[in-house]
Amino acid sequence: MSNASERGVHRDHSPLLPTVSAGVVGLSFLTFVLAWLVLFPILTPSTQLVGGVTFYDVFGLAMLLCGVALVGSGVASRTGYVPATPSATAGVTTGVVLGVLGFVVTGLFVSQTLGIDGPMGLGWFLAAFVGGAAVFVATVAPREDVGSTVPIGAFALLAGLVVLLGVIGDSWTWNPSGLAATFSGDMAVPVVALVVSLLTAWAGAKAYEGFGARGRQLGAYMFVNLNAALMLFVLFVLIAFIVYRGLPGVLRGAAVGLGTGPEVAFGLHLPFDVPFVTNSYGLRNDVNGVLPAVFGTIWLVVGAVVLAVPTGVGAAVFLTEYSREGRFTQVVEIATNGLWSTPSIVYGLFGLAFLVPRFGNSASLLAGQLVLGFMLLPLVVITTRESIKAVPDSYRDASAALGVNQWQTIRSVVLPAALPGTVTGIILGVGRIAGETAPILLVTSSSMSPFPASRFVPRVLSGFQFTAQPPFVTNTELLQASSALPYQLYALITAGVGAGAGSDADIDPWSTALVLLIVVLTFYAVGIASRSYFRRRLQE
């Protein structure tokens, strides 16, 4: 009893363990960030900082400090010097993670440094296995406060020493037999620092809460939160990078002001001009642009929507309103899910085999519209079905009670109520197919140059012609090949235009990527915004 009260008092006055472990977590986090900066060479690792200290030394020192602090807190907690609530063991999960690490490190040391290897001479494997098993036992056998800190701390210490002493450093290279890659110190040190910093942060987080269930929760939450933050970061970096590289090309020659833009109708001009979007490719252009690709994408999307939306909504209505759950709906469901997961390149092959020979044996806009429509169909069916199912049965009952027949109920009660969800689903689906490259590569754009001239802008509306013989209506524009934004980007890449188009006459792939990204993400932003708007209204 006296021991417990002593501990309670102790905790109030000397928060030694939380302070030290918070320091370890913070230092690990800094190491983590710094390692990424060095890895994607924003910082050069061998830069001389103050007094001849390089980033190598910084990494080594940080790992050393974390290691010492962790071993110290583990020992302090075990001897009862600082209060903690550890479980009996660090657990099998921790043991397996560290055991695998021990296996890898021992294996690399024995096979690469000592030169005992040969895939068939199992020497290194046995040593690695013994090393891994030893680490596993060292982690699982002692009480949690020792098991979850000392092995990690020792590893951090070891790594810190190796880097500080320059064993792995500036001039170090490693060419593992069997891999085509050569690892240099520039690469290896930050990678080691990444792994070590994640481990020390994990152990530090556990120690911060005094181990036990709460400690393990903090350790796990740290990883889960870091993972979520990294996903957001990746999204941000991707978009920011493409804007940074593409925006100058998109804005080349752009102007804002009354009458500067291209004519829309009746002598009215748009109040802005972005030649990269409104021009085609031509020798006499000041700025060459991607207009044919923009129009190609627009018409592809329009065609796909015209085909898929009525079909998909009709199917969803039948599945939810007319038919009972049974064998037939099950078959339809399996087919719909199957279509949803069919790879886009397979749709392309299908279009090549089925549609292209029937539309004059050449790539055509119409074939692309149909194929993209088929790809959009399952998305429309699934989302429409969900939103029709979400319409409460009381709506239908109320309508039926008024003597309205089933079709009238569907048309004037069910479908309007399901409209928001349906529209959202369609918008998100359109965003997806607008960026699809593989199918149109095969059925619509195969012959197009990466620099299409203005005659390749599809003019679908004026293309209809009526004839006296079957098929009576023809549209040469629909039966012609067309470019599209994703294809244009692909063509620029394969044409080897490279990542840094210099002169104004070139079409910059980064700018093309930016225009494509703007188109696609606009669909997504509108779709997501409308969904959350309608959901909020539903909750009110």
Partner 1 sequence: MSQRTGISNVFDERLGDSTAFTAVAAVGALSLLATFVLFVVESDLASVALVVFVAAAAYGWLFHQAETAWGLSVLTTLVGIVVLGLILVFLFLEAEKAFETAGLSLLLRSAVPVWSPSQGIYGLQVAIHGTIVTTVIATLIAGPLGVAGALFISEIAPERVGELVKPAIEMLAGIPSIVYGFIGFAILNRYLFYELQLNTQGSLFLAGGVIGLMALPTVVSVAEDAITSVPESMKSGSLALGATDWQTMKGITLPAAFSGVSAAIILGIGRAVGETMAATVILGNVAGEFPNPIFDVFASTATLTSLIASQYGDAAETQLSALFVAGVVLFVIVMFLSLVSQLIERRMRRQLEGDS
Binder among 286, 338, 464, 465 for partner 1 (CB under 8 A):
338
Decide if residue 232 touches partner 1 (CB under 8 A).
yes
Task: Classify 446 as helix, strand or coil.
Answer: coil
Q: The tokens of 256 are what?
A: 């804002």
Give the shortest CB-540-to-partner 1 separation in angstroms: 16
Instruction: Name which of 420, 387, 430 is nearest 532 in CA terms.
Output: 420
Give the shortest CB-110-to-partner 1 separation in angstroms: 19
Q: In this complex, which beta carbon is closest to partner 1, that of residue 147 or of residue 312?
A: 312
**Crossing angle between the packed helical segments 415-434 and 365-389, to the nearest 10 degrees:** 140
Q: In this complex, which beta carbon is closest to partner 1, that of residue 68 or of residue 521?
A: 521
SS3 string of 110-148? Answer: HHHHCCCCCCCCCHHHHHHHHHHHHHHHHHHCCCHHHHC
Decide if residue 43 touches partner 1 (CB under 8 A).
no
Decide if residue 468 touches partner 1 (CB under 8 A).
no
Q: The tokens of 265 are what?
A: 């109708």
Q: In this complex, which beta carbon is closest to partner 1, that of residue 273 or of residue 436?
A: 436
Give the shortest CB-466-to-partner 1 separation in angstroms: 12
Q: In this complex, which beta carbon is closest to partner 1, that of residue 184 or of residue 362?
A: 184
C-alpha–C-alpha distance, residues 457 and 49, integer Å = 57
Give the shortest CB-216-to-partner 1 separation in angstroms: 6
CB-CB contact of 367 with 303 (8 Å): no
Q: Identify residues 369-398 at the interface with partner 1 (CB under 8 A).
A: 374, 377-378, 381, 393, 396-397
Q: In this complex, which beta carbon is closest to partner 1, that of residue 78 or of residue 216?
A: 216
Give the shortest CB-159-to-partner 1 separation in angstroms: 20
Q: In this complex, which beta carbon is closest to partner 1, that of residue 247 or of residue 335?
A: 335
Contact range with partner 1 by CB under 8 A, out of 106-114, 192-200, 277-285, 352-360: 352-360
Number of residues that bind partner 1 (CB under 8 A): 118
Give the shortest CB-339-to-partner 1 separation in angstroms: 6
Give the shortest CB-527-to-partner 1 separation in angstroms: 9
Give the shortest CB-55-to-partner 1 separation in angstroms: 16
Binder among 130, 133, 332, 501 for partner 1 (CB under 8 A):
332
CB atoms within 10 A of CB 483: 31
x/- track of binding to partner 1 for residues 53-72 (CB under 8 A): --------------------
Q: In this complex, which beta carbon is closest to partner 1, that of residue 176 or of residue 257?
A: 176
Decide if residue 516 touches partner 1 (CB under 8 A).
yes
Residue 100 C-alpha from the chain's centroid? 28
Measuring CA to CA, how many Å separate 159 from each of 39, 162, 174, 196, 344?
17, 5, 16, 8, 46
Q: In this complex, which beta carbon is closest to partner 1, that of residue 68 or of residue 332?
A: 332
Q: Identify residues 79-98 at the interface with partner 1 (CB under 8 A).
A: none
Task: Classify 489 as helix, strand or coil.
Answer: helix
Decide if residue 305 touches partner 1 (CB under 8 A).
no
CB-CB contact of 14 with 180 (8 Å): no
CB-CB contact of 67 with 153 (8 Å): yes
Decide if residue 323 touches partner 1 (CB under 8 A).
yes
**DSSP per-residue codes, 335-349:** HHHHHHHS-HHHHHH
CB-CB contact of 322 with 385 (8 Å): no
Buried b (16+ CB within 10 A) or exposed e, 294-333: bbbbbbbbebbbebbbebbbebbbebbbeeeeeeeeeebe
Rg of the chain over all Cα atoms, to the nearest angstrom? 32
Binder among 92, 302, 346, 538 for partner 1 (CB under 8 A):
346
SS3 string of 304-335? Answer: HHHHHHHHHHHHHHHHHHHCCCCHHHHHHHHH
Q: In this complex, which beta carbon is closest to partner 1, that of residue 156 or of residue 428?
A: 428
x/- track of binding to partner 1 for residues 398-437 (CB under 8 A): --x----xxxxxxx----------------x--xx-xxxx
Q: In this complex, which beta carbon is closest to partner 1, that of residue 118 or of residue 259?
A: 118
Q: Alpha-carbon torsion 127, 129, 135, 138, what sign?
A: negative
Q: What is the DSSP letter of 507?
A: P
Binder among 38, 441, 448, 481 for partner 1 (CB under 8 A):
441
Give the shortest CB-424-to-partner 1 separation in angstroms: 11
Binder among 30, 53, 141, 213 for partner 1 (CB under 8 A):
213
Decide if residue 29 touches partner 1 (CB under 8 A).
no
x/- track of binding to partner 1 for residues 135-174 (CB under 8 A): ----------------------------------------
Measuring CA to CA, how many Å separate 439 from each of 364, 390, 435, 447, 498?
12, 34, 11, 14, 24
Binder among 486, 507, 508, 511 for partner 1 (CB under 8 A):
486
Decide if residue 182 touches partner 1 (CB under 8 A).
yes
Instruction: Name which of 171, 126, 16, 124 is nearest 80 in CA terms.
Output: 16
Binder among 167, 331, 390, 495 for partner 1 (CB under 8 A):
331
Give the shortest CB-438-to-partner 1 separation in angstroms: 4
Residue given tokens 């910084």 in the structure block: 58
Q: In this complex, which beta carbon is closest to partner 1, that of residue 230 or of residue 256?
A: 230
Q: In this complex, which beta carbon is closest to partner 1, that of residue 349 or of residue 417?
A: 349
C-alpha–C-alpha distance, residues 82 and 76, integer Å = 6
C-alpha–C-alpha distance, residues 165 and 171, integer Å = 13
**The residue count for the chain:** 540
Strand partners, 173: 184
